[in-house]
Amino acid sequence: MKIAPLKISLFVIITLSILMIITSLLCYKNFIGLLSLWSRANKMNIYLKVDSTDKDKTDVLNLIQQTPQVSSAVVLDRQKAGLEFQNSLKNFSSGLITEDEMIDLIPETIEVDLQSSLTLTERETIFTELAKKMSANAQVDEISYSASWLKKLEFIDRILRSIGASVFLVLVTSISYLVALMMRSYVEDSKQEIEVYSLLGATRWSVYRIFLKDVFLFISTSLIIAFSSVLLIFTLLKNKLNTSGLFGMISDSLHFLSLTESISIVVLLFLFIFINSFFTIQASVNKLNQLSYD
């Protein structure tokens, strides 16, 4: 085997591996982002008893505010809510119920929202705890926050994380194996070069350096190509979604990896592949230690 095809194969393998990892992370980030978007729209409604006084309302509001993650707790206007509800039923029940009767049917409601930075799991946990605390209050009649949906989303998130971690492990193991395989062939193919360097008095480190220099170039170029490709495909896809009216809202919620996330991935992948390559080169070169000059 010639060195040039080996180098090309090694380069392609590293680039594709990095591309797969970045794409997986980007997909996970945006999928969770979309789920969180729905969960952020979901607020908790606390219905007070019909005979509750203003003091009761203030007590309940104070109790809610004790949870630091609560971003807002708003008392809804009963009359406004009643009118809106009546309007929505006007065509079906015109004159059936009067305004006063309607308002009596609507309880005092406090709408609670949480900080937007919270994850799905955190939202679900805080809402559950808050609901438990509120249920114990004598003035609270009923609580609604789509608990079952939140639980389902939290479950999906957990499953995705587990699958993501497993896929990441499989990918990383495959990359290690492939990079090691290619590096071993590369070193084996450069046997004559290593022999000459050794004959001329090159230390083992200077022999490693010859290969590590190539690996460094491969990884750097692969990272640039992989990142640019993913960014390009992502931008094109987002634009396409944006122009199609149905998915316009979704496209606004899609985001590329942040600078911190990108730098972390680059550093992690670079270190991982570089260290893996180093140990393979070291083992392969040491294997050729009994050099022949015949």
Partner 1 sequence: MIEFKHVYKTYGTSSGSGQHTLRDVSFKIKKGEFIFLIGPSGAGKTTLFKLISAYEKISSGEVSVLGHNVGQLKRGQIPFLRRKIGFVLQSYKLLKNKTVFENIELPLIILNVNKEERQKKVSAMISQVGLTEVQDQFPDFLSGGEQQRVAIARALIHDPEIVIADEPTGNLDPELSNSIMNLFFKFSKSGVTFVVATHDYRLIKEPGCRILKVDKGELVEDHIL
Residues that bind partner 1 (CB under 8 A): 3, 192-193, 195-204, 206, 290-294
Residue among 58 and 203 whose Cβ is closer to partner 1: 203
Residue among 92 and 293 whose Cβ is closer to partner 1: 293
Would you state the structure tokens that stand for residue 165, as one six-digit string?
Answer: 């971690």
Residue among 36 and 198 whose Cβ is closer to partner 1: 198
C-alpha span between 19 and 13 (Å, rounded): 10
Backbone angles phi, psi at 35, to 5 degrees: -65, -40
Nearest to 48 by CA among 63, 26, 38: 63
- Distance in Å, CB of 192 to partner 1, minimum: 8
Residue among 7 and 40 whose Cβ is closer to partner 1: 7
- Distance in Å, CB of 197 to partner 1, minimum: 7
Nearest to 183 by CA among 224, 215, 219, 207: 215
- Distance in Å, CB of 184 to partner 1, minimum: 20
- Distance in Å, CB of 186 to partner 1, minimum: 14
Residue among 100 and 294 whose Cβ is closer to partner 1: 294
Q: What is the 3-state secondary structure (H, E, C) of 205-253?
A: HHHHHHHHHHHHHHHHHHHHHHHHHHHHHHHHHHHHHHHCHHHHHHHHC
- Distance in Å, CB of 292 to partner 1, minimum: 8
C-alpha span between 21 and 222 (Å, rounded): 12
Residue among 49 and 191 whose Cβ is closer to partner 1: 191
Locus of tokens 């004559």: 192
Would you state the structure tokens that stand for residue 53, as one six-digit string?
Answer: 């006084």
- Distance in Å, CB of 199 to partner 1, minimum: 5
